[in-house]
Structure 1
Amino acid sequence: MADQQTLDPDMFTKQALFTKSWHRDLYPAIDPKQFTSAVSDKVVLVTGASRNLGKYMVRSWAEAGASGIVITSRRLSDLAPVVQNLKEISPKTEVLAVAAEMTKEEDVKNLFEKIKEKFGRLDVVVANAGVVGAGSSFPRIGDISFGPEKWWGDLENNVRTAYLTAHYYITTFGPEPVGTFITMASAVGRVIMPGNSSYGISKSSTQRLVPYLHAEYPSLRAFSLDPGIVAKHDNLLEAFRPFAFDMPELSGAWTVWLSSSETSEVLRGGYVQVNWDVEELEKHKEEIGEKKLNHLGFINAHLGPEGHAWEN
């Protein structure tokens, strides 16, 4: 393996670029503060908000001046410092902290009931809660030290939390939801990384949830957001530490942008990555929308009545 000092810290980032210009930190075009007029009346839910990516994403909404912010964690005590920080950033924003285990149906149902009782509306959902679990140890399929139950844990957690969050958002605020629903994607959900099958398949599944929501509820703005290789993350895999320079504030800004920008309309139902340049996306929005360039594909062959167009 190459010495870490010789590794290009942007190596993985460059492999997934859609735009020629790219970013790993906040930049003016996506600064949440410029969207205040668009989000000042919005209520947003961010699950798993006590630490890591979640706590930074909710700050972006406070900086934008959201009307209400709902945050969840397994323990209410873990949310106390987050609530204090949000009130310091935006004293006018109402903050609702709810203890919820997002894999438990009753907890999720109660969460949305509390939101409806408190605010009467919910405009944006960021389904951030999830785990790395078995994938953090790179167990291969058939590894005797990781039985089926441990392998299944990533899917049970990540797929179930995303589904339950979507289900109770729609049943509570439907039947034709008009808000924004964002799941958290990952590169391992679209590339094959040996030893990461449990986590990779779980992220592939949550990413596939988005086009289904898009097809079944055309009024809902659904996106799958890849936060990149996030810095300041407690659960960062050691193998990725030399490449972890994507600031979590960038992901937070993207959730605000996706719910507020006209350009994001052409990205609905698809995959987006925080490194992409939003001004370049704006420039090419007609082509992106017409060809659905950010939508998930199937296989590389061209399928149809005439079969694949072979080269010879």
Structure 2
Amino acid sequence: MDPRVAAVDGFTKTNHKSVPPSLDPATVRLEDGFTVCIIGASSGIGEHVAYCFARARVARLVISSRTISDLEVVAAEVNRINPLGEIDIVECDVSKATAVEALADYVRTHCGRLDVLVLNAGYAGPVITKMDRGSPEWVQRAFEVNALGTYLAAHYFVPLLLQTEDGAKGFMAIGSIAGCIRRGPIANTGYTVSKFAQIRLVEYLHEQYSGEGLVSLALHPGAVMTRMARGNMPEEFLPYMTDEVDLCGAVCVFLSKQIRDLSWLGGRLISATWDMEELMAKKEQVVERDLLKFTLLTE
């Protein structure tokens, strides 16, 4: 295993594979009018992020993906969980500027506010550990979705987050510890490097907008057996994909509830598998040493 990844995995003494009682979204009550938009909500992690916000009785939820038909089942389940909340479904390909702009305009026009954006859309492609193998199109698509998509989401949604009066101003990119990987059987060049770029973009967001109240962070969802993972992960790594699909959503709800007090986490990569109480207790250490960011070592 790449030592960088091992270090991240062990940042808290306690780690979780499923939602602990302390993170049960059903015990959380978000503010009146709280509005969340999830990009990439048709299946897997994004789908369950939507369900977790529904359990927290979010006032309004906008879910999007490249194909609207994939969202109808998700919207129905959200309605079942939270019949008093409003749910909107909007088509959006995060790699297309016009589509992301249209989604932001929809939220602005129909919702009038936005408290939290959860950017879950991602692309992995087949695992290629040598640059002279595979197809350049796979790498290009990874950068279009994971890196450019993050920039486009920031470009069009950050103004809406900042303009929302009394809004929570949370920008959460579902990133990946894969952005730290350099070697090994899952060092997929296009995916890992584009996820590295995504994490750096989140750091840039913090540098550029934290003074205006934006709290931006990258959240590793855990090792989850999603449809994307099953289709691209090497066979020998599949037994390690044991984290529950709803853990990330529960952490998103936990963070959203107190996002205004989490400016110290801004621009950092954290993991949904970490114990959140232990992470919060590390605030002084994280801030003092500027941890959970990429840096160039010179000594």
8 Å Cα contact 1:40-1:64 kept in structure 2: no
Match of 1:16 in 2: 9
**Comparing 103-112 and 235-244, the one that deviates more:** 235-244
Residues 13 and 25 (structure 1), Cα distance of their counterparts in 2 relative to 1, 3 Å cut:
farther
Q: Which residue of 2 aligns with 1:57?
A: 49
Q: Tell me, which stretches of 5 or more residues in structure 1 are unaligned?
A: 1-11, 303-312
Match of 2:23 among 23, 30, 44: 30
Q: Which residue of 2 aligns with 1:152?
A: 140
Kindly provide the amino acid, as one letter, of the partner of residue 238 in structure 2. Answer: R
Residue aligned with 1:256, SS: helix
Picking from 98, 106, 115, the partner of 1:114 is: 106
1:268 counterpart letter in structure 2: G
Q: Which residue pairs with 2:78 in the alignment?
A: 86
CA contact (8 A) 1:50 1:82 kept: yes
Structure-2 change in CA distance of 1:232 and 1:142 (3 Å): closer
CA distance in 2: counterparts of 1:178 and 1:220, whole angstroms: 8
Deviation of residue 193 (structure 1)? Answer: 3.0
Output the amino acid matched with 2:222: G
Q: Which residue of 1 aligns with 2:281?
A: 283
After TM superposition, the structure 1 = structure 2 runs for residues 217-296 of structure 1, keeping only pairs within 5 Å, are 217-218=209-210, 219-236=213-230, 237=233, 238-261=235-258, 264-294=262-292, 296=293
5+ residue gaps in structure 2? Answer: none
What residue in structure 2 maps to residue 180 of structure 1? 170
| Residue identity matched to 1:261 | Q
Query: Which deviates more from structure 2 when the two are superposed, residues 191-200 or residues 223-232?
Result: 191-200
Specify whether residues 122 and 139 from structure 1 end up closer, same or farther in structure 2 by C-alpha distance, changes over 3 A only: same
Deviation at 1:76, TM superposition (A): 1.2
Contact 1:232-1:247 within 8 A present in 2 as well: no
1:67-100 CA distance string (max 9 Å, x none):
1101011111111110100000000110010011
| Change in CA separation of 1:293 and 1:283 when aligned onto 2, cut-off 3 Å | same
Shift of 1:297: 2.8
Structure number with greater Rg is 1
Tell me which residue corresponds to 1:167.
Answer: 155
C-alpha distance after superposition, 1:279-305 (max 9, x if no partner): 1123332332333322x1323334xxx
Partners of 1:62 and 1:89 within 8 A in 2: yes
Residue 208 of structure 1 is matched in structure 2 by 200
Distance in structure 1 (CA, Å) of the matches to 2:86 and 2:289: 40
Task: Supply the AA of the counterpart residue of 2:291.
Answer: L
Q: What number of residue pairs does the alignment pair up?
A: 285
Residues 168, 256 of structure 2: 8 Å contact kept: no
TM-score, scaled to structure 2 = 0.88
Q: Residues 152-210 of structure 1: CA distance to partner in whole angstroms, max 9, x if unpaired?
A: 22112211111111110024444698510011221221011355111111000001111
* Partner residue, 1:4: none
State the one-letter code of the partner of 1:292.
Answer: D
Which of 68, 89, 99 is 2:91 aligned to? 99
Counterpart code for 1:187:
I
The letter of the residue matching 1:49 is A
